[in-house]
Amino acid sequence: MEKRPLELRKLPTDTELLALKENLRLYMQQSPFALKAGPEKQGIRRYSDKYIQLLESESNEFVSWRPDWRFFPGELRPGAPREEEFRLARNQWCLLQERERESSEGGRGGG
């Protein structure tokens, strides 16, 4: 069962009313008091957006800045050997865990 809208009546009064409605709509749109759509917003402005734009610009001082590494600790340098230190620390931690496990197992068995 289909539901279709009723056909529009073609009486002279209906045609007149449609023309008046169209005139009113156009007048309201062109009125100086009509609200216009504002410019589209870009959404949420994040704090980091400002700094991303600074880094993307070529003529930025931050991009061409090279630190004087004499004033910074060696660990902060880009080529600093961090991986080896991490591996040593992890091995020491594993050994410590094993010793703790052994000591806790040794304490339980003698009853």
Whether the pLDDT of residue 57 is over 90: the answer is no
Nearest Cα to Cα of residue 63 among 76, 73, 53: 53
- Between CA 86 and CA 97 the distance in angstroms is 16
Whether the pLDDT of residue 27 is over 60: the answer is yes
Whether the pLDDT of residue 36 is over 70: the answer is yes
Domain boundary assignment for the chain: 82-106
- Between CA 92 and CA 88 the distance in angstroms is 6
- The pLDDT value recorded for residue 91 is 85
Whether the pLDDT of residue 75 is over 50: the answer is yes
- The pLDDT value recorded for residue 82 is 65
- Residue pair 8/14 in contact by the 8 Å Cβ criterion: yes
- Residue pair 62/54 in contact by the 8 Å Cβ criterion: yes
- Between CA 26 and CA 29 the distance in angstroms is 5
Q: Which amino acid is at 14?
A: D
Whether the pLDDT of residue 80 is over 50: the answer is yes
Query: Whole-prediction pTM value?
Result: 0.29
As a whole-number percent, the residues of the chain with pLDDT over 90 amount to 14
